[in-house]
Amino acid sequence: MISVTMVDDETYEVVVEGDTETSHRVRMSAHYHKKLCGGTMTQEWVIVQSFKFLLEREPNTSILASFDLPDISRYFPEFESEMADRLRQ
């Protein structure tokens, strides 16, 4: 299970349950949120979908403890195009 809690306007605390529970601090600007989904989905939903994307590629224990959401594209170049497809559904 993935739970997302807003810390401030651009910062979220994400807890991923698994064999080992992990906690992550993620930053997403309003601009990047709009870029990913046109602002049609909640920020929390975008982050949940982003973590589902990550968990399909690596265990939760390998996900950085703190990062900006756009950083995912540095490791997985297909991130933004796949998120566009996921968030369009």
- Residue 33 has phi, psi (to 5 degrees) of -60, -45
pLDDT digits (tens, 9 = 90+) for 78-89: 999 999 998 885
Alpha-carbon gap, residue 84 to 89, rounded angstroms = 9
Whole-model pTM? Answer: 0.94
pLDDT digits (tens, 9 = 90+) for 36-69: 999 899 999 999 999 999 999 999 999 999 999 9
- Locate the domains of the chain by residue range: 2-88
Q: Tokens standing for 63?
A: 């996900």
Nearest partner of 72 among 87, 89, 57, judged by Cα: 57
Alpha helices in the chain (DSSP H): 30-37, 43-55, 72-75, 79-88
Is-contact 44 10, C-beta < 8 A? no
β-strand partners of 40? none
